[in-house]
Homo-oligomer: A and B are copies of this chain.
Amino acid sequence: MIGIFDSGIGGLTVVKSIVEQLPGYDIIYFGDTARTPYGNKSPETVINYALENTDFLLSKGAKIIVMACNTASSVAMERMTGKYDIPIFEVITPAVELSIKTSDKLRIGIIGTRATVKSGIYEKKLKGVNPGARVYSVACPLFVPLVEEGWLKKPETRMIVKKYLHPLKVRQINTLILGCTHYPLLKNIIRHKIGKRVKIIDSSIAVAEKIKDFLTNYPEIDKKLGKNGKSEFFVSDVTEQFEKTARTVLGKNIFLEQTRI
């Protein structure tokens, strides 16, 4: 199985992209809804959560792990690869590589949670791939609550999006990385406010393409993955909001199982 975890709801956009890129692959998802959100928490706390979530997915039979959470990806990758001897994917590197490949002017904006932006990881990785890249980051801590409240089209949301994106607009970025898996749900408003000439990089799509490439290159790992179209969804806290958002993102009802972590 492909094991995917997120701090809560946002990682479902990654599930959607993986199902599109790898139809029929068995997946198991864990949303840490009891401890969500991760974005305002300290690195050490988020690392502990990432390790616990991974242990849970492995105990359920996951053979590869996808950290579908930018905050966890920002801070936990090193500790994860140090501890586990299986392929682990994070959502940052694929978005970085895609940005560098497609951004002609290399004026790249990043939006993410406070923890992701503070980690400076996108900037570090972008400059690692191309030292000439100019990178501008903005933390948008209200986007996650707005998405979770379901305010995807409200005028207040438009105003807040506009306010957060303003400094990036002034810098005349030509590429914008959505550095949080909740943000694709606001993609239309973001596109409208940042302007149509700015290319938007959706990390959930980038990571799904990366996993597909990897499995093509490593058939011995691909062989270990079930392909019966099964999907299981676990959460650390069952909430109505999760079920509602799951319907919006995946376009179908899912059965949620609760587990204490």
- Identify the A interface with B (CB < 8 A): 33-36, 40-42, 45, 114, 141-142, 144-146, 148-149, 151, 155-156, 159-160, 163, 236-239, 241
Contacts and interface: CB of A to CB of B under 8 A. Distances in A.
Given A34-B35, A156-B156, A156-B160, A237 B41 contact: yes
Contacts of A144: 145
Contacts of A35: 34-35
List 9 A-B pairs, minimum CB-CB distance, nearest first: A145-B145, A45-B237, A34-B45, A41-B237, A156-B159, A42-B237, A141-B149, A156-B160, A35-B35
Nearest to A146: B142
Given A40-B241, A142-B142, 16 more contacts: A33-B41, A34-B35, A34-B41, A34-B45, A36-B40, A40-B148, A40-B239, A41-B237, A45-B237, A114-B241, A141-B145, A142-B145, A142-B149, A142-B151, A155-B159, A156-B160
List the number of copies, as a whole number.
Answer: 2
11 contacts: A33-B41, A34-B35, A41-B237, A42-B237, A42-B239, A45-B237, A114-B241, A142-B151, A156-B156, A156-B159, A156-B163
